[in-house]
Chains A and B, each alone.
Chain A
Amino acid sequence: MVVIYSMERNRTEDRERGGLGPELAALLAKAPPPQAPDWFAAKTLARLRNEERPAAAKPLGMAGWRWVWAAGAAAVVAGWVLWDRPKAGSEISDAEVFAALDALVQQDEENRWWAGL
C-alpha cells in the first residue's frame, strides 16, 4: 500500500513538475545543445569595439547621418537667404526702357506700312 502510494506520489510530482519525464529527459540529455566556438568571445568583443567606435574617430567628430542633416540644413538656409535677393545688374535704366518702347513703336509702324494700312 505504501509502495503504491509512493509510486503514485512520484508520478504526481513528476506531472506537477511538468517536466519531460525521466525517459525523455534522459534521451534529450544525450543530445546537449552545441557550445560556442572558441573564438566567440573575441569576435563579439571585436564587433562591440567596431560598433562602439567613438564619434571622434569620424571626420570632424560627426557620425555619417549627421553630415546629411547638416548639409540639408545648410541648403535650406542658403535657399532662404538667396531666394528673393535682387541680382547684381538686374536694374534697368529709364533710357533703356524708352529705347525699347521706341523700337516697339517703330516696329509697329513698319508692320502697318508693309500691310498697306
Chain B
Amino acid sequence: MALIVKRDEEAFRILVERHQDRVFGLVARMMGGAGPEAEEAAQDVFLRVWKSARTYRAEGKFTSWLMMVVRNQVFTRLGQQKRRQDIDGNNPVDDETGESLLERHADSGSAAPSEALSLKELQKAVEEACAELPESQRLIVHLRQYEGLEFEEIGKITGQSLTAVKALMFRAREKLKKKLSGYLSASN
C-alpha cells in the first residue's frame, strides 16, 4: 500500500491480481451474477483503493479495509439499481441467461431436488437462495462463509454491533435452511 500511495502502478497490478477473485466473488454474489456490471463494480473497487490509498491506516488488516470499500461500492450500486428499477418499474433480468430474476425465484420455490442432483443444479440453488437474502444478510454470510472472517471483523466492515451481526447471521441461516431444506436432506 505504501507503494500505491507513491503511485506505483506495478504494485497496484500485484494488488489487483492478489485480491481480484476475493473482490469479484463478493461483488458478483452481492449483485446477483458475474455479469459485466459486476465486473465494472469490482474495477470501481480497485480504482477507489488507488484513489483512497492515502486514507488507509496499517493498523487493521488490509482485507478488512478492502472489504469495507467493496461494501460501500456495492451498496451504492445496489441503491442506484433499486432507484432505476423503481423509476422504470422493470423486473431485473439476468445478464447471462436473459431470464427474469423474479420468474427464476418463483420457479425455484417449487423445484424439488431429484435424487441424482447435479453439482450445477445445487450451485444454482445455493446462488438463488443467497440472492434472495436481504443485502446485509447476504454480505455477512459471504464474509463469514467464504472469507472466514470473525464476527468482530464483520461488524467493523459492516459498521454494525456484534449482536446485530450475529442476529443477522441467525436470520440468514434460518432462511437458507428453509430454502435449501430439500438439498440439505438430499445431501445427508
Q: Are B43 and A34 in contact (CB under 8 A)?
A: no
Residue of chain B at shortest CB distance from A32: B146
Digitize A36-61: 1 where CB-to-B-CB distance is under 8 Å, 0 elsewhere: 11001101110111011000000000
- Cβ of A28 and Cβ of B145 under 8 Å apart? yes
Query: Does B69 interact with chain A (Cβ within 8 Å)?
Result: no
Determine, out of B71-79, B84-92, B173-181, the stretch whose residues face the partner at the interface. B173-181
Contact A48–B9 (Cβ < 8 Å) = yes
A10 CB, nearest partner CB in chain B, Å = 17
A40 CB contact (under 8 Å) in B20, B47, B184: B20
| B65 contacts A by Cβ under 8 Å | no
Shortest distance from the beta carbon of A111 to any chain B beta carbon, whole Å: 70
Do A31 and B26 touch across chains, with their CB atoms under 8 A apart? Answer: no
Q: Is B34 an interface residue (CB 8 A)?
A: yes
0/1 string, B149-188, CB within 8 A of A gives 1: 0010000000000000010011001001100100110011
Whether A19 is near chain B, meaning CB under 8 Å from some CB there, is yes
A116: min CB distance to chain B, Å = 78
* Interface of B: prevailing SS: helix
In the bound complex, residues from chain B placing their C-beta under 8 Å from that of A29 are: 145
B24-74, CB < 8 A from A? 24-26, 28-29, 34, 39, 42-43, 46-47, 50
- Nearest CB in chain A to that of B7: its residue: A52
Whether B119 is near chain A, meaning CB under 8 Å from some CB there, is yes
8 nearest A-B residue pairs (beta carbon): A33-B25, A31-B126, A36-B24, A36-B20, A34-B34, A31-B123, A41-B16, A35-B21
**Chain B residue total in the interface (Cβ 8 A):** 44
Complex contacts, B169 vs chain A, CB 8 Å: 18-20
Residues of B within 8 A of A26 (CB): 187
With the chains together, A32 CA to B26 CA distance in Å?
10
Q: Are B13 and A27 in contact (CB under 8 A)?
A: no
Contact status A28-B12, CB under 8 Å: no
A20-B28 in contact (CB<8A): no
Assembled-state Cα–Cα distance A79/B177 (Å):
72
Q: How far is the CB of B159 from chain A (nearest CB, A)?
A: 18
CB-defined contacts of B9 to chain A, threshold 8 Å: 45, 48-49
A48 engages B42 (CB within 8 Å)? no
A40 and B46 alpha carbons, distance in the complex (Å): 11
Across the interface, which residues of A come within 8 angstroms of B46, CB to CB?
A: 44, 48
Contact A24 B184 (CB under 8 A): yes
Is A25 among interface residues, defined by CB-CB distance under 8 A?
A: yes
